[in-house]
Amino acid sequence: METLAIAIGAFVLYLIAYNTYGRWLARKIFRLDEKAIVPSVALNDNKDYVPTRKSIIFGHHFTSIAGTGPIVGPALAVIWGWVPALLWVLFGSIFIGAVHDFGALVVSMRNRGQTVGDIAGRVLAPRTRILFLSVLFLALTIVLAIFGLVIAAVFKQYPSAIIPCLVQIPLAAIIGIALHRKGINLLIPSLIVLALMYLSVYFGDQGILGNLNQWLASWPIMNWVVFLLIYSYIASVLPVWTLLQPRDYINSLQLLSVLGLVMIGLVVAGLIGGAPNPGETARPALEIVAEPVRLNPEGAPWIFPFLFVTIACGAISGFHCLVSSGTSSKQIERETDAQFVGYGSMLTEGFLATLVILACVAGIGLGVAGENGVLTGEAAYQARYGSWDAAKGLSAKVGAFVEGSANFLKALGISPAFAVALMGVFVASFAATTLDTACRLQRYVTQELAASLKINLLTRKHEATIFAVLLAGSIAAMPVGPWSDWTWTTAGKGGLLLWPLFGATNQLLGGLAFLVIGFWMWRRKLPVWFIVIPMVFMLILPGIAMTMNIFVGENSYIAQGQWSLMIFGLATMALEIWMIVEAAAAWPKAKGVLEEQLEPLTAGETFTAEGGRSC
């Protein structure tokens, strides 16, 4: 019952937070105005700036910010005990993550849909524009270089997820074109598409399709990297309504419905127990089998500050400011939709992270496969979290969540094969939506950075996207070991060379985004205490983590001779310290002094209530 009480309590807490703190931010601080002219209307180009119903933009925003982050982070962090992980997710998402996402979205909407990097140059100091854009460029390059590997690894681990994920692409294109041109009601198409997606999961691993899954799972990782980057290029340059919006929307339908099933399964397991294990008739009781707090797991780094870097998405992630200010702010149809999209999406992600924690500390206790049969209870937890090395691999983290959540589904009478396939699709779909959104965001950042550096070629859409894709592909293709061992079948893992930097860099980016939001509010004499506190928190803790990664201990970059990580890490720290110094110098003189203003928005001539809407 403890597990069930935590899940229900978290859900209620998020509802209360949305309707109290979120509403206070929307009405009293940001003063959202339903009648205000927004960038999607005034700058509607039917490509990037497209007014969109809030249900669809919520789907895009939620699936783009979530990715695999709220799964792999919490699934690893529970090695320090479930209480610290749960507290960071609950209170981090409400008071830090959701404020960060919501604030970045509103500030971007009030600045013609510009990214936080562009806005930084006006609200802080001109030099910070290039500094911020450089940090964004580095972070997105790492994401693009690694996520092909992430998706390929999930496909290899759960081949039954491949066909359902690929089927989503044509379904998305069909529904996107139909809704854009016909303006039809969403309910019936949504139900049809959701049914088709579940059918693709059920039948996608049978007969010829099952054989196709196995063949695709045998592909070298580099094949998947090339395929996914080509897809990302296409998705990035097409108008948002053709693929990006509808794919994220139908993904969100499936993902949210699966979350609902997991929650119902958790309720059933909490009340009457999980499904009987093979050879047994009794239903095992659902209970937390992990320690509340575990400060010294074997081989693990210190809980402080690394808990706050390990769990990013689910509590706060700097990547989210890119989605808020890069794509979502260009599609919000009314200012008042921003609370639902920005604040609401982050709380939904926090609830997902909560369920991940419960799946990894209670769900796996219902039974997981071991070397000598089915393991249950504490033995199942120890098999996955006995040491840092046992828990830190991608397959281990994803596996703990998939096994634990599949046990919740099996409590409903769902077959083990379908439950595992469904959760495999769940993970792979999240990763894929982050990849194509990240490619579009990298295009925006490349164009903005190229404009600042006077590189005219890269200010154009196709050239900027090709550059982003080729750079990511080149990094992914680099060998992790000696060049003499490089082959096409071993390539695709090069993103791992820079991936250790992403956790701290990503969280530092969140602190810098708070800095931009805070300056924008300070110049307007708005309250900033609720921005400054998380800003300081998110600048100091990731900075300590990055410093420790570079210099401290036998596993530090210097001790291990990982010179590329050390150089990139120091460069990132230098850029961010420079930006903080610029901000500190400007802060005393900024209160009440507005930055250089952009031209005011006026209603776009091409927009109509029906024809100009994306859906």
Q: What is the secondary structure of 95-142 as a DSSP string?
A: IIIHHHHHHHHHHHHTTTT--HHHHHHHHT-HHHHHHHHHHHHHHHHH
Half-sphere exposure of 273 (CA within 13 A, CB side): 11
Task: Tell me: pLDDT of 608 over 80.
Answer: no
Whole-number Cα distances in Å, 177 to 190, 242, 280, 437, 527: 14, 6, 51, 19, 44
Dist. CA 193–CA 252, nearest whole Å: 12
**Confidence (pLDDT) at 477:** 92
Predicted confidence band of residue 262 (pLDDT cuts 50, 70, 90): very high
Q: Domain count of the chain?
A: 1
Dist. CA 487–CA 355, nearest whole Å: 40
Cis peptide before 305 (omega within 30 of 0): yes
Task: Tell me: pLDDT of 528 over 50.
Answer: yes
Task: Tell me: pLDDT of 346 over 90.
Answer: yes
Predicted confidence band of residue 126 (pLDDT cuts 50, 70, 90): confident
**Confidence (pLDDT) at 216:** 92
**Confidence (pLDDT) at 405:** 94
**Confidence (pLDDT) at 176:** 80
Residue 519 located in a structural domain: no
Task: Tell me: pLDDT of 612 over 50.
Answer: no
Q: Which range is most confident: 7-16, 216-225, 439-448?
A: 7-16
Residue 610 located in a structural domain: no
Contact (Cβ atoms closer than 8 angstroms) between residue 119 and residue 105: no
Dist. CA 290–CA 164, nearest whole Å: 33
Mean pLDDT of 452-460: 88
Task: Tell me: pLDDT of 474 over 80.
Answer: yes
**Confidence (pLDDT) at 431:** 83
Task: Tell me: pLDDT of 38 over 90.
Answer: yes
Lowest mean pLDDT among 371-375, 494-498, 517-521: 371-375
Task: Tell me: pLDDT of 72 over 80.
Answer: yes
**Confidence (pLDDT) at 610:** 32
Buried b (16+ CB within 10 A) or exposed e, 152-168: bbbbbbbbbbbbbbbbb
Residue 134 located in a structural domain: yes
**Confidence (pLDDT) at 202:** 85
Residue 398 located in a structural domain: yes
Q: Please write the tens of the pLDDT for every residue from 355-370.
A: 999 999 999 999 888 7
Q: Report the share of the chain in percent with pLDDT over 90.
A: 44
Backbone angles phi, psi at 332, to 5 degrees: -60, 125
R_g of the chain, CA atoms, integer Å: 23
Q: Which range is most confident: 255-269, 272-286, 422-436?
A: 255-269
Q: Which CATH number is 24's domain given?
A: 1.10.4160
Lowest mean pLDDT among 6-10, 279-283, 284-288, 334-338: 279-283
**Confidence (pLDDT) at 504:** 86
Place of tokens 């990580």: 565
Mean pLDDT of 129-137: 84
Residue 609 located in a structural domain: no
Predicted confidence band of residue 27 (pLDDT cuts 50, 70, 90): very high
**Confidence (pLDDT) at 611:** 32
Lowest mean pLDDT among 9-18, 97-106, 329-338, 548-557: 548-557
Task: Tell me: pLDDT of 255 over 60.
Answer: yes
Residue 494 located in a structural domain: no
Closest listed residue to residue 175, CA positions, set 89, 231, 242:
242
**Confidence (pLDDT) at 574:** 87
**Confidence (pLDDT) at 595:** 85
Encoding tokens for residue 3?
């597990």
Predicted confidence band of residue 243 (pLDDT cuts 50, 70, 90): confident
Whole-number Cα distances in Å, 519 to 116, 119, 136, 211, 580: 12, 10, 19, 56, 12
Predicted confidence band of residue 184 (pLDDT cuts 50, 70, 90): low
Dist. CA 70–CA 430, nearest whole Å: 10
Closest listed residue to residue 352, CA positions, set 258, 250, 259:
259
Mean pLDDT of 380-395: 85
Residue 544 located in a structural domain: no
Residue 227 located in a structural domain: yes
Burial of 485 (0-12, 13-18, 19+ CB in 10 A): exposed
Place of tokens 């693990």: 300
**Confidence (pLDDT) at 606:** 40
Mean pLDDT of 397-423: 91
**Confidence (pLDDT) at 607:** 36
Contact (Cβ atoms closer than 8 angstroms) between residue 449 and residue 115: no
Dist. CA 421–CA 322, nearest whole Å: 31
Predicted confidence band of residue 244 (pLDDT cuts 50, 70, 90): confident
Instruction: Please give the single-letter amino acid code of residue 303.
Output: I
Q: Report the share of the chain in percent with pLDDT over 70.
A: 97
Mean pLDDT of 146-171: 88
Q: Which range is most confident: 37-46, 93-102, 484-493, 541-550?
A: 93-102
Print the domain residue range for 373: 2-482+574-590
Dist. CA 240–CA 45, nearest whole Å: 11
